[in-house]
Amino acid sequence: MGFIAHIKEEFAVIQERDPAIKSPWEVLLYPSFRVMLKYRRAHKQYLKGHYFRARWISQRATRKTGIEIHPGATIGKGLFIDHGAGVVIGETAIIGDNVTLYQGVTLGGTGKETGKRHPTIEDNVMVSAGAKLLGSFTVGENSKIGAGSVVLEEVPPNCTVVGVPGRVVKRENIKVPRETMDQVHLPDPMLDDIKVLQRENTELTNRVLELERRLRTIADREIEK
């Protein structure tokens, strides 16, 4: 893909997923746009076996953008990194098409694996701010990872994952994440559990109060006799 064609594609991606964009020229200033240009160059050098040159290009991009993408990572089209500060993408990570990553996301390894040791992210996945995906597993297409989640195992397609460690709290998402770009209004299973406990506690308290009332009534009757 030529430079001009790449600019057009990046603009379309950013315009679709970032409401703050007002003009095509702003795209040139986006860390996501700048780092992806450098990544494409570095990845070509990596595939040719020019590892030092590839790392030199990628490390310069890291210093300028705050986004660290290993030149060995495999990235499809339409990747959008919103803000981007602190994003890390490991060497054996595989990212499909139309994926969205927010700031602070890590696609890393556990430190114990060899070979394929980073996550595979399938098409149309959204990974919210601060989420950490560690290890060699797959996040299925159209899935959404909640902010601050730590994901250590397989995620089926069309699911929502939240928590530490991450667990599936919703299956069969109706909408593709990039259609809503909503990383806030996600299910909260802990809050749901707390609400259930509060409701049950209220019911139990009411039953105890009713029993006490009946006992007092019985006691009063016995005294009258």
Q: What's the pLDDT tens digit per position in 111-122? A: 877 889 999 999
E strand map for 12-55? none
pLDDT of residue 114: 81
Regarding predicted confidence, which is higher, 112 or 58?
A: 58
Structure confidence at residue 179 (pLDDT): 54
What is the percent of the chain where pLDDT is above 90?
A: 48
- How far is the first Cα of the chain from the last one, in angstroms, to the nearest whole number? 98
Q: pLDDT at residue 210 above 70?
A: yes
- The helix (run of H) or strand (run of E) holding residue 33 is helix 31-47
Contact between 19 and 182 under an 8 Å Cβ cutoff? The reply is no
pTM (predicted TM-score):
0.76
pLDDT for 175:
59
Structure tokens at 107: 């696609």
Q: In this predicted model, which residue has the larger pLDDT, 107 or 32? A: 107
Fold (CATH) for 3-187: UDP N-Acetylglucosamine Acyltransferase; domain 1 (2.160.10)
Question: What percent of the chain has pLDDT above 70?
Answer: 88
